[in-house]
Structure 1
Amino acid sequence: MNELIKPTKPITKRAFHKTQGFTLVELMVSLSVGLVIFAGVMSVFVGMRTTTAQTSSYGELQENGRFAISVLTDDLLRQNFWGDLSGTLSQSTLISIPAQPGNNCTGEGVNNATFPQATGPFRTLWGQTIVAGALNPLGCFSMPANTRTMVGSDVIQLKRVIANPVAAPTAGNYYLTSNLASAAIFAAGDAVPTIDNSRLWQYQHHVYYVREVSAGNDFVPVLIQGRLANFSMNFAPVIDGIERIRFMYGVDTDIDPTAAGYGIVDAYISADNMTQQLWDNAGGTRVLAVQVFVLARSIRPDNKYTNKNSYQLGDDLPFTPEDNYRRLLFSSTVTLYNNSVESW
């Protein structure tokens, strides 16, 4: 028996309408909603990207500034340290002194070279604010092409021995051998002077200043350190993004050791206001502390940011840059323990 074939359901007008696509109005509404959502997402993305860039920039400033402060304060803490020698270093306490090193850094004063001389007190600490027309005040700065010394920043030099004694000299370095009463400075390769019950310490002369290095159409500020190596003063970058360093020297002007204020800082004085007597610790005055100011600057400008802040570095006039660089100011006060006593 033949199977009955059911007739197919006729396509109605209502069923046909359900298979149609979006209308033009629906498309326009959907696109409008999508654009609004996309604009919101992009706004959040741009905001997050800007915040991330700012956070990264300030993080870099924090790292650079803290490292620079650490290097300067650690060096200043050990300024005027002469191993086992009791008292200050001078030619009268030395049984031998080598010739001055190559590219010798000689600051202001009659006895401000790397090694002590016969005239006047030996300056183990000295500084100066760099001004236009005197960009190499110590006569030893390396001046590569496309660089310039930062005007308005300070230069500081200090002398000491490295904190830990050594067993034997290393080529290219200078050394101090000392006991409580006497000492000798000699170059590695020379015979070690004979001093009873003495130990051996590496001699160092450090200089810090800020140099600007050309980078395209701009200059990047760099903290530079000079140090003794290969029997000469050599200069190398320490860290980028340090725009200025300034120092205020804490001076005790009380001459009488029995006075109530003896051994206490009476005033903090900038480098350009320090006198010859104060630098020489002469007449009973002594430099007992140093305030350190470090201004860190971002490496690259941000054209969406204008820096209208003012930065006070010691007693200098406030610095208001009015440019597109972010900055952070760091400061620290260092007690010069080796200057606070005349002998150990």
Structure 2
Amino acid sequence: MMDTHRGFSLVELMVASVISLFLALGLFTMFSMSQTNVTTTSQLGQLQENGRIALALMERDISQLGFMGDITGTDLIVGSNTTLVGVPPAVFNDCVGAGANNATFPGNISAHFRKLWGYENGVSANSLACLNGVKARTDVIQIKRLIGPSVVNPSDAGRFYMATTSNEAIIFQGTGAPPVLASGRYWEYQHHIYFIADNAEGIPELRRKTLSATGLGNDEQLVEGIENMRIMYGFDNDGDDAADSYMPVQNVTTLMWDNALFQRLVSLRIFLLVRSTEEDDSYTNDVTYTLGDKTIAATNDHFRRKVVSTTIVLENPVLIRN
């Protein structure tokens, strides 16, 4: 009996091979596209979340700028309404900004005590010598305020405190018994500086210096991927506590920093350029970004970026009464 079973011909094998090749190529393309979409979605989510966290941290802090407990709104004058008890005249690792009275604590100087000050690194004439590695052409901002709520037992030796009434303030370190101030309340005193620097891996990050018993020698690493910061200062020129114009730090005058003669800064607009922490070789960034009045040219690298911003209305716009 004749055997009728036969295998594939050479032509059939070649056709099957070509079809398999196309199927494999299609599957590879779908897998590659899926991987790209996952990377894109992940990085965009990371940009949004890092930007949100950075703005939230700064907004919660800066919105209370100038809060000085019961004496809020009155200039702190050492020897008149303010006393320093056990506080060294020159704080170790202090960050002293521009102006006659712009150290961590008010000095015995006939000048307004600055609770707000800033500059653009590498552009402004003045800077803070205490900072290291600040990225060029990024803004730096320092603020001073009390941390609420008031405390019953100000005894943390690593902190500084202020006892306040409506017309008197005593600044002291949390060692030993706190000073007695009739009808006064105790608050933690804080000096913060926000700036941008690269970490050990070369990733830019938002950092903050925080006052402790050792001065401002520590850097808190807050959020990775914050590549640039621009701050626009809201100026009130008609006394209604609302910003009539916004200006870059270079245009802020001495009177505005001191809130003297009703030259008041009442709000801030903060712009952050957020960068992904890892490159994506399938993406080339040719986008130009705008941060307030500043333009960041396209880098043509493989990092995704996003601009986030917020407007912070200062809770205490009238920082100095007279």
Whether the 8 Å contact between 1:125 and 1:159 is mirrored in structure 2 is yes
TM (normalized to structure 2)?
A: 0.92
Equivalent in the alignment of 2:82: 94
Equivalent in the alignment of 1:5: none
Identity %: 36
Which of 281, 284, 297 in structure 1 is aligned with 2:259?
Answer: 281
**2:138 maps to 1:153:** yes
**2:162 maps to 1:176:** yes
Matches within 5 A, 1:41-60: 41-60=27-46
Equivalent in the alignment of 2:121: 130
Whether the 8 Å contact between 1:150 and 1:211 is mirrored in structure 2 is yes
- In the alignment, the residues of structure 2 paired with residue 214 and residue 75 of structure 1 have an alpha-carbon distance, to the nearest angstrom, of 27
- In the alignment, the residues of structure 2 paired with residue 67 and residue 118 of structure 1 have an alpha-carbon distance, to the nearest angstrom, of 38
Which of 73, 89, 106 in structure 1 is aligned with 2:59?
Answer: 73
- In the alignment, the residues of structure 2 paired with residue 317 and residue 53 of structure 1 have an alpha-carbon distance, to the nearest angstrom, of 27
* Paired residue type of 2:4: H
SS in 2 for 1:189: coil
Matches within 5 A, 1:1-344: 11=1, 13=2, 16-18=3-5, 20-91=6-77, 92-97=80-85, 98-99=87-88, 100-119=90-109, 120-131=111-122, 137-141=127-131, 143=132, 148-168=133-153, 169-215=155-201, 219-233=202-216, 234-254=218-238, 262-340=240-318
Cα displacement string for residues 101-141 of structure 1 (whole angstroms, at most 9, x for unaligned residues): 2110111100111111132111111110001798x921212
CA shift, 1:240, in A, is: 1.0
CA shift, 1:24, in A, is: 1.9
Whether the 8 Å contact between 1:222 and 1:237 is mirrored in structure 2 is yes
* Paired residue type of 1:150: K
- Structure 1 range deviating more: 90-99 or 65-74: 90-99
Cα displacement string for residues 235-276 of structure 1 (whole angstroms, at most 9, x for unaligned residues): 12111110011101101123xx5xxxx323121111111111
* Paired residue type of 1:246: R
Which is greater in Rg? Answer: 1
CA shift, 1:154, in A, is: 0.4
- In the alignment, the residues of structure 1 paired with residue 230 and residue 305 of structure 2 have an alpha-carbon distance, to the nearest angstrom, of 15
Cα displacement string for residues 30-84 of structure 1 (whole angstroms, at most 9, x for unaligned residues): 1111111111111110000001011111111111111111111111111111122
**Hey, which bits of structure 1, 4+ residues long, moved more than 3 A?**
340-343
Whether the 8 Å contact between 1:205 and 1:228 is mirrored in structure 2 is yes
Whether the 8 Å contact between 1:224 and 1:238 is mirrored in structure 2 is yes
CA shift, 1:320, in A, is: 2.8
Q: What residue ranges of structure 2 are gaps of 5+ in the alignment?
A: none
CA shift, 1:222, in A, is: 1.3
* Paired residue type of 2:147: I
SS in 2 for 1:95: strand
SS in 2 for 1:123: coil
Say what the alpha-carbon RMSD is for the aligned residues: 1.9
Whether the 8 Å contact between 2:146 and 2:187 is mirrored in structure 1 is yes
Q: In 2 relative to 1, CA 133–183 (structure 1 residues): closer, same or farther, beyond 3 Å?
A: closer
SS in 2 for 1:165: strand
- In the alignment, the residues of structure 1 paired with residue 118 and residue 319 of structure 2 have an alpha-carbon distance, to the nearest angstrom, of 21
Whether the 8 Å contact between 1:69 and 1:332 is mirrored in structure 2 is yes
SS in 1 for 2:150: coil
Q: What residue ranges of structure 1 are gaps of 5+ in the alignment?
A: 1-10
SS in 2 for 1:68: helix
- In the alignment, the residues of structure 2 paired with residue 285 and residue 89 of structure 1 have an alpha-carbon distance, to the nearest angstrom, of 15
Equivalent in the alignment of 1:7: none
Q: In 2 relative to 1, CA 278–76 (structure 1 residues): closer, same or farther, beyond 3 Å?
A: same
SS in 2 for 1:29: helix
* Paired residue type of 1:180: S
